[in-house]
Amino acid sequence: MSQPLCAEAVRAIEHDCARLVARYANRNDAADWEAVAALYAPDGRMARPSAPDDWIVGREAILAAFAARPARTTRHVCSNVEITVLDADTALGESAMLLFTGDAAPRVGSFLDRFVRTGEGWRFAERRGTMTF
C-alpha cells in the first residue's frame, strides 16, 4: 500500500495539472498542434466538447484531428480549475471553458480530465469536453 502524499506534494501535483490545462488552451489558440498533442500521454484520449462521446485515441490521432481543422482564430478562457489528486501518479480535473472564435457567439463548456505522470511529466490521459450552452 502506498504512503499518503504530504500536503506539499499534493499542491505541486495540483499546480502542475492546472498549468497543463492552461498550456493546452494557449497552445490550442496558437494552433501549435504538435505541442497540443504532446500534452497527452502516448495512449491518451480526447473528446471534443462538440462530440463528447466521440473519442480520439493516441497522440498521432489527436495531432491528425487538430491538423485537419480549418484555420480559425480562437481564444479559450479556462477557469474554475479543480484538481483532485488520487495518488503520486494520477489526478482528476474539472474546468470551465469559454471559447471565443471569430465573429461567432461565445460557447461555454467544460472539460473533465484524467491526468497521469509520465517520463515527460504530467500529461492528459483523458480529456472529455462537453458543451453547456
Contacting residues for 70 by C-beta, under 8 A, at least 6 apart: none
Mean pLDDT confidence for 28-34: 97
* Three-state DSSP class for residue 66: helix
Q: Is residue 108 part of a domain?
A: yes
Per the structure, the complete domain to which residue 17 belongs is given by 7-131
Can you read off the three cell numbers belonging to residue 75?
481564444
Q: Is residue 23 part of a domain?
A: yes
Q: Is residue 79 part of a domain?
A: yes
Task: Please count the structural domains in the chain.
Answer: 1
Decide if pLDDT at 1 tops 70: no
| pLDDT tens-digit readout, 54-113 | 999 999 999 999 999 999 999 999 999 999 999 999 999 999 999 999 878 899 999 999
* Helix, strand, coil share of the chain (percent; to 5): 30, 45, 25
Q: Is residue 2 part of a domain?
A: no
Q: Is residue 1 part of a domain?
A: no
pLDDT score, position 68: 97
| pLDDT tens-digit readout, 104-131 | 889 999 999 999 999 999 999 999 999 9
> Can you give the CATH number for the domain in which 127 is found?
3.10.450.50
